[in-house]
Each structure stands twice: as C-alpha cells, then as structure tokens.
Chain A
C-alpha cells in the first residue's frame, strides 16, 4: 500500500505541476488511461483473495478518484487560464466610432404643429384643412373683408392670373378661409383647429413669403369671450410649459371678429436673453375674438342662435419663442446644420400626458 500512496502523491504533484492541457492529458493517460499505472493496479485485483481484494480495491478506488479529481480541477484551472489568455488577445479599441446609423430630424414647424394639436386635441378640437389656392370669397369677402377694406390693403396677396371670367385665384393669406369652408360644410357645434401654409408677398428679416398659421374656431350656442380667455390661457401655459405664465387680452380689431382681442404673454429680457414667463414685458403672440355675426351669416349659420370664437397665431413665431430660434428666414433654408440643430428626433408623438 505504500506504493499506492507514493503513486497517488506522484500523480497529484505532477498534475499540479502541469502547465498545459496537453501535459495534463499525458499525465491522465499515464495514470488512468487504458495502460495507465493506476488502471494497471486495478487489473491486479483479480488475483487477490476476496478479503484482500476488497481492502485493496477500496484503497485503489480512493487513489483513483483523488487523482481524477486533481486532474479535473487542474483542467478547469488551465482552461480558465487559456480563456484569459484568449480574451487578452481579443482586445479591441472600443474608442473607435460605432457603425454609422444617423437618425434624422423632424422640422420644428412639424413638431410645433403636433404640440399645438396635442393641446387642443385634449380640449376637444379636431384638425381641419383646406386648399392653399383660394378664391376671393373664402379668403376675404366671407370674412367680412370687402374689396376696399383697409385691412385688405395691409395684406400683400399673391395672385394667380386672371381667369376668363375676370376672377383671380390667390394664395391664401391666412388659414381663416378654412373656417369658412368648414362652416359651410358642417352644422354647429364646431370645434376645429387649422394648421397650415399661408402666403404673403413680403420678404425681409421678419417676413417670409410663406409661413404657417394655426387657426381655431368654436361655434355653438353658448361659447363666449370668457371661454376664449380660458382656452388661450390654458393653451399658452401648456405650450410654453410655464404654469403661471401671465396672459393678457387687449382689445383690437379684425374684420371677422367682434369683439376682437390681441393676446400677449409675459416675458423678460435678462442679459439680452428672452425668457417667457412673468416679467416686465409683453410679447404679442396671437389675434382672437368672437366670430363676427356677418361671418356666420355668410356661411349660412344663424347668428341669432349660434356664436363662438376664433383665433389665429403664427407657428414659426411660437417655435422661435419656445425653442429660441433667432431668425424666421432660416426655417425654409433646408440647411442640414440647422435642421440637425433645431430639429427633433422622432421619438414619440407630442402629448400632454408625456409633457411637451
């Protein structure tokens, strides 16, 4: 039995000294292989007396297990070391740039329109649209703007060529003709907003020949100026995300509303930076009023029964104020640097629930 102990010790020590899986395999074959030394001893057991065989068998099994265990343990350690070695060799420069996959951007006008729709949608407005090429009736006459009205002279209208019947189509100067089209086609109650392109023949630092407006119209039997105030105050606060934003209604004049009001929001100019919120200054952002009875009648709506309000605002102006975009003309330049800087990643549709 002394020999067996020596043999076990020999193999356990050899195993511990093995420095590679190949060496370890040689040791395993030498000890436990078909012709291995321990296997060889097992074969001798048959020649022993049953008593002796039992004792020797147990000892031999114990030694065999001990050696096998040592080999297995060493094998795992060597495999681990091998893997570590491979991992070290597989090192890459993770500071290299990832494969290019640019996500594009949504234009601030689209984003702003969606934000506006999200707010008014919650108040029960739906979105209406209308043609850009309009006729005199829808753009002017039905809105109580007769041909020689001074308000009409202030709008520089783009005209298309005169037709055979002497009429001229024009590019709509505001989104208000959609009010008319909608009222002609729908019975009250009406609650719509109309975002869209508008056109005026004017181009300088603060005017673009094409710009965007959003129009609002509510017609029913009870809506009054207080509701207009409520709607627009809530809108301004939600849009600019300023809970205590001061909103001021000033009497004004539009041919298609009576009474009419312009709406200002509070702001301050600290260190040359415009900030929307309570401050010492006011910024005009929209025009509004109660729909003129003549406008209702022009659309075939009984003005003794129905009333309502309308408002309109410039989308670029809202976007400029909210997102700090300095120049109107840049909206239409399609400068990639501008689009990437001021544009929006298309992560989710704006909603009041998620925050604007």
Chain B
C-alpha cells in the first residue's frame, strides 16, 4: 500500500517528520516496506541559468556553457542538443552524485576536449525520473535560481510504502492508515465529506439484485448514480501526480477517480459508460460458459459461482474483480453510471483466483470493505465526478439492503495485563479504542466496545487487547521470565530423537558427511527403490523431477554422489537421517538413517592403499549406528535377502527374527547405471523405529564386571567348508561348543583356491578361552578343542584342516 506524505496529510493533521511517521507505522503493525524521499536524494541539484551557450572549439556536438548557479558562474561543457543561451536547467556541481548517469559515481571536475568543465546540466535519466536522455531538462523561466529542483519537478512528496496484513482491509485506503496513526498519537484524523449530495434528476438506470436466496450474501447491497453531460478530460495535475507517485498510470478523470477513491478510502468503484448499457443493471450469478471481455483486454469464461454485473444484453463486469471493456469509459464518454457495491469476500477471492485476475478491487473486497462505504462511497465519488468532469448527478439508486453489523465486545481491562503482560489503565484503553473508531462504554467495570463497520477482523476480547497494545506500543510490554516448574530442566528429547542424534554422530565419526535432501524425488527414481503408491504422487509438483514422495533416502544420496562425481569428487561418503514414506498416513512415515559410500575407501596415500568400497563398509556403518542406538548387536542375525536395489550377492539384512533393523550391501549395478555412478557404491538403510526399546527395569545400571586374574588362552583352527556355508554359522557352532569358557571367536582368514577342494573354502578362526576358577591344563584345553571341532563339523559339514 503506497501513498505520499501530502496525501496522508489530507487525512491526518500532523507536523511529525516523515521518518517518525514511517517508524510509527512499523510499530503499530503497518510495516514500512520502503520510504522513498526524492527530495533528499535530489537535494544537490539546483536551478541554474544558462547565461551563454557557444560552440565547443574542438567538437561539433558539444557546447560550452557559462552557467549561473545563483552562487557563482561556472563553465560547463554540455552534449545536449537543446542546451542554449537563456534557458534554465538542472545543475549538478562537481562532487555531487548522479543517480542515473552512465558514468556511475561522483561527478568530477574535468577537461573535455581541452575545455574545462565544472559540473553538469542533467537530463531526466540522470535525475532518475525517466529514461529520457535526448536532451537536458528545461525548467520554467520563473524557477528561482539556486533553488532545489525536487519541488519544481513535483518530486518533493515522499512516497511511503507499507505492508498490510490480510486482516487490515481498512488500511488499504490512506484514511484508514491516518486513523491508526492518529490513535497512536501522531496527529489528528481529518474527517472526509460524507454528506449526501442532492441529485438533480432520477437515474434512468436502476439496480436489481437477482441472486438465489442461499447466495444472497454474494452481493447484499449496491448503490448507483447516473451522471450526464460530463466531460472525461485528463485529471488535474495533483491527481495525476499522486497516482504516478504510487505507480499508477493516469488515464482519464473518470477512471482516475475510481482508482483514487480505491486508494484514498479503500472503496473500489466502477464507472460504466451509460450510453453503452442496455437497460437496467443486475447483480446475478454468471451462467455456465458466459464470457466477458474485461478491462485488462482479456476475455474470460465465467462459471455459476461468480457474481456478474449484467445489463439486458450481456455481462458488463465481474463482481468485485474487474469491469468490462465494452461498457468502459473513454475520452468520449458523456453519460456515466457509477457502481458502488458490496460483495462477499470469499466469493470475490474464489472468483479472482479461478480467473487468475489480481486487481486492486479484488484485493480490497477479499480483505473486507467497510459496508458503510456503499453509502458514503457514492457521495464521495459523485463530488469528485462533478468537480473534475462537470455535468450533473442523479439521485442515488440502490438494490438490496445495507448490512448493519452491530457487534459489541466486552473487554476486561485487566486482560491487558493478564494476556498482554502490560498493566494499562482502563481510561487509556478506552481512549485508544475510541480513537480507532470503537463506540466505547463502561459497564460493571468492563469496557464494552462497539466494533466499527470497517473492522470485521475484530471478533473477540483478544482482538481488543491487541488493538490496545498495538497502539500503545508492544515496546512498553516488560519482558517476563518463563519460570520452570521443576528446579532443573527435564530431558527435552525422546528416545527416538536421541537415536537420530546418535546415528548422526556415529556416521559422522565414521567419516561420512550429513546431507539433507528433499522428501520428494522423480517417480522414475522411486521405481528403482520399490516404487511408491499413487497416493504419494504429488498433485502439483514444482517439477517432474520432484513429483513423488521418496520411498527410500538412498536414491537422493545416489543422485548426490553422482553430482559430486561430476564435480570431480568421486569418493563420496554421505548420509541422511530422515523420513521415508510408505503411505499417506502418519504411521506410513518411517524414520531411517541411510548412508552411501561411493568410489574408493579413501584418497590415494603413500602408505595406505585405497580399495573400492564394498558391502563390509556398509555393514560396519550399520553396526556402528545400531550399537550407538542401543540395539543388541551381539544378537543380530544376518540374512542375504536385501531388497532388489542391492547387489543380490553382496548385500544382507540385519535382523532380530522377523524384525528388520537394517539393509546393507553394495548397490545393484542397474541402480548405479540409472544414476550415472561409475564406481561401486555401498549403502545401508537403518530403520531406527525398529530398534527395540531398552528394558525400563534395568535402568542405567551395568551388569557387574568380571575381571579374571587368570590369563586367557587363544587357539586357532581352520576348517574346510562348503562355499555356501555362512561364516556366522561356523562362529556360532564354535561358540556353542563350550559356552562357559569361550568368550570370543574371530574369523582371521578366509581362503579358496589351491590346496582347497573345488566348491569349498577355508575359514580360519581364533577362539579365546577364559579360564574361570583355575588355569586350564593342556589335557583340558585339548578336550575343549575337540569339542569345538566336533561342534563345527556337525553344524557346517566341514572338516578341520590339518
């Protein structure tokens, strides 16, 4: 919402400097977006007289001017064709800053083709008021020498631009802004003339409202007035200046008046060229498929949810949104019919949205226009039309009934303190509300506030507290500490949230970098990771690359690794802890820690040789996260049935029976190909929600530590087993041979090839025995070793290698 300072002063009697007004606007909730003070910017530029302009001795297109600045005479070399003796122009002295100059920066004293030049005579572009650069600005002869040019050019009226929140339709007119400022102590609100203007004749055009009963609220009331013998000439300069200052193009007096009243009082209007109307005007719903050519020059097809203004022949306007082109006013208009209507904000918003029309009228109607303005709007507009276009006005005509929303809200004065935190005397609260236009009374220690018609947003006591505090100033509310109910703060995060942090920390310590990627991705990528139900396809994606919810985090990490490889960073180690989606219910959102390593295990190094990443990197990542999250890692089983996006022979699942805690392994080469990843990639998905919760009764206590004084014994065994036998089976068999004494079994070698039968492999294990009560004798150790061999051979069908 833009307006100029002088415009504001039409409504507000104030001596406050513009900066103070701007700051106050922000502090009462009308946030300043911009303050454009052209007078300050243009202050260095003054009126100067060209005493003499003669040809430059060495340049055909330059002239040498002797310029009287009012203080002194200076010599200026000028390239403008219109520079001539006796003219008045805009002078910039050396050292001043020229906003619109191609030579950006500060003007310097210089020599042009051997002739000294002290300053410059400016074009409109150089002053920054237009793109005109053909010649220098010519000022009127009576412009006072040495005076600042801003006033002479009509640029000395600061432009204020404020943001209006959707609830404050009343401030979409300068008068409403002035009311708020007056209440906030920045001056006195000047009333505007709402008095009825007598009509000279009976309007030949009548209003009708023809709406179904259940949609009567679409247009409850409309006023009209007919004007004859008007002359639609250009608006006067003051009106044109104001419209231009806020970015509107002056068109003709009639059109400018509708725009002006829209911004001045927040009252949208429409004027019809009455000679182009056929019969009376009716507010009705559009018929399906009915069309109209609107004032923006575009044809629109309407639907029966939209209100239109129609004459006998056709639709002449879209209610609350835009008028029709064919009955619009032009320079030749002499008969005018004025429309001042009320429309349902919701319907206007829906209509505007469906048609894709954003107009100043729609903007105001959908935020709520003061119903009373239907009455005074017709009077204000009539006065302006008669003033600017002459002619005479009819008596007003109307249809429907003016809604008179009479609402009273009670305010307990202590609510300023108990809700607002500020102890404010009741008198002050009453005064603020009265200044804002509320009808204030006192009843049983409570304030009753009659809500003014222009404030449909004020609905309850909390709104009144806000009005009072807003105008008094939020800055006066003392800050109060939020006290704890407990002496010390309690834990803020849940087990699930701790696990997220634990997973993140574990992976980062393993050298991986955390990424945060979108929750959506391309459908084709989702298909590689198990696909997504139709319910998770976005109805309005921002692009086809981001059109479905992700069924897995891995495709995003794979894509990220590929992007990094394209930048020359082929060895990526990335992870993300976040959501993936199974269906559209809250339960269908899974919390997953996913990690992906691509390329080599590390950089090339003089001592450590990097190797391609593989499934065991991923398995290590999985176990690190599971352990950090408190999963019983010693009890996990490994199975080789990971989903299809993994390499079928190089992947696995970590589980507790049917409960899958993690998938890990090398990514399927088909997936790598789809993402353009050249090297191998090892990935893991850990389902944090599937990790069992720790048993509450054991608490934080650890089991007692048993430190044996007896030295542990280590024995090595190598077995030849079928290739298909999982190492885990052998380890379990060895461990099970003597549960009381065997504390650890490690696989320290696997081998297949020479010396081993085809289809078999050798697995070498180191078994640690921890004696419990006494040192083990050699025969005892021998006996245990035999049991280990027997147990392994029985479980795996293998044989001890000797």
Contacts and interface: CB of A to CB of B under 8 A. Distances in A.
B505 interface: yes
Given A121-B489, A253-B165, A162 B573 contact: no
Contacts of B31: 250, 252, 262
Interface stretch (A21-29, A49-57, A70-78, A97-105): A97-105
A331 B516 contact: yes
Given A110-B504, A127-B492, A153-B349, A250 B479 contact: no
A158 B497 CA distance: 27
Interface stretch (B240-248, B413-421, B777-785): B413-421
B510 A199 contact: no
- From B350, B462, B486, name the one whose CB has the most chain A CB atoms within 10 angstroms: B462
Interface in B544-603: 546, 549, 556-557, 560, 563-564, 567, 569, 572-575, 577-579, 581, 584-586, 588-589, 602-603
- From A99, A110, A197, A201, name the one whose CB has the most chain B CB atoms within 10 angstroms: A110
B391 interface: no
A34 interface: no
Given A124-B482, A346-B508, A332 B517 contact: yes
A310 to B, nearest CB: 13
A103 B511 contact: yes
B431 interface: no
A103 B491 contact: no
A130 B585 CA distance: 11
Contacts of A260: 466
A123 B469 CA distance: 26
Contacts of A103: 508-509, 511
A107 B29 CA distance: 36
- From A125, A162, A189, name the one whose CB has the most chain B CB atoms within 10 angstroms: A125
Contacts of A101: 511
Given A148-B346, A149-B166, A251-B474, A226 B603 contact: no
Interface stretch (B119-127, B531-539, B646-654): B531-539
Contact of B29 (A102, A222, A253): A253
B67 to A, nearest CB: 37
B518 A209 contact: yes
B167 A334 contact: no
Given A123-B489, A224-B480, A259-B466, A334 B511 contact: no
A335 to B, nearest CB: 7
Interface string B518-541: 111000000000000011111111
Contacts of A332: 516-518
B542 A100 contact: no
A36 interface: no
Interface stretch (B215-223, B327-335, B605-613): B605-613
Interface stretch (A4-12, A79-87, A337-345): A337-345
A155 to B, nearest CB: 12
B475 interface: yes
Given A169-B584, A224-B418, A227-B421, A334 B563 contact: yes
Interface in A100-147: 100-107, 109-110, 114, 117, 120-127, 129-133
Contacts of B560: 333-334
B477 interface: yes
Contact of B482 (A114, A132, A210, A231): A231
A126 B31 CA distance: 33
Given A100-B602, A117-B493, A125-B492, A133 B466 contact: no
A158 B541 contact: yes
A230 interface: yes
Interface residues of B, number: 102
A345 B511 CA distance: 10
B29 A250 contact: yes
Interface string A188-216: 01000100010101110000011000000
Nearest to B500: A110
B353 interface: yes
B606 A97 contact: yes
- Top 10 A-B pairs ranked by shortest CB distance? A226-B421, A251-B29, A259-B466, A121-B492, A334-B560, A253-B165, A226-B480, A131-B586, A334-B515, A150-B166
Interface of A: 96-97, 99-107, 109-110, 114, 117, 120-127, 129-133, 148-151, 153-154, 158-163, 168-169, 171, 189, 193, 197, 199, 201-203, 209-210, 218, 222-231, 233-234, 248-253, 258-262, 290, 292-293, 307, 331-337, 339-340, 343, 345-346, 349
19 contacts: A106-B514, A124-B486, A133-B584, A149-B166, A154-B166, A161-B539, A168-B539, A201-B542, A224-B419, A226-B479, A227-B480, A248-B475, A251-B29, A252-B165, A259-B470, A290-B419, A292-B462, A293-B460, A334-B557
